[in-house]
C-alpha cells in the first residue's frame, strides 16, 4: 500500500475494498464431492462384499 500520504492510503484501501467486494460477489458456493458425513447416533451399515471382508480378515 502507498502510505506516502493519507489520501494515497485512503485511495489504496478503497481500491482493495472494491476488489474484495467484486471477488465476493462473483464467488460460488463450495461443493464437496465424495463420502457423506456420518449421522449422529447411527452405526455404519456393513457392506455386502463378504469375499473382500474375508480376504481382509474381517469376517
Assess if residue 8 is contained within a domain.
yes
Average pLDDT, the chain: 83
Q: What is the dihedral sign for C-alpha 38, 44, 45, 49?
A: positive
Cα separation, 22 vs 44, in Å, equals 43
Say yes or no to pLDDT of 47 above 80: no
Cα separation, 6 vs 4, in Å, equals 7
Assess if residue 35 is contained within a domain.
no
Find the domain containing 24 and state its range: 1-28
**In percent, how much of the chain has pLDDT > 90?**
29
Cα separation, 16 vs 10, in Å, equals 10
pTM reported for the whole predicted model: 0.45
pLDDT tens digit sequence for 13-36? 999 999 999 999 999 888 878 877
Assess if residue 23 is contained within a domain.
yes
Say yes or no to pLDDT of 3 above 80: no
Q: What is the pLDDT of residue 10?
A: 92
Domain total of the chain: 1
Amino acid at each position: 500500500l502507498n502510505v506516502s500520504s493519507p489520501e494515497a492510503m485512503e485511495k489504496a484501501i478503497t481500491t482493495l475494498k472494491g476488489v474484495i467486494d467484486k471477488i465476493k460477489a462473483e464467488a460460488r458456493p463450495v461443493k464437496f464431492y465424495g463420502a457423506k458425513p456420518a449421522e449422529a447416533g447411527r452405526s455404519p451399515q456393513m457392506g455386502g462384499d463378504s469375499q473382500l471382508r474375508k480376504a481382509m480378515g474381517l469376517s
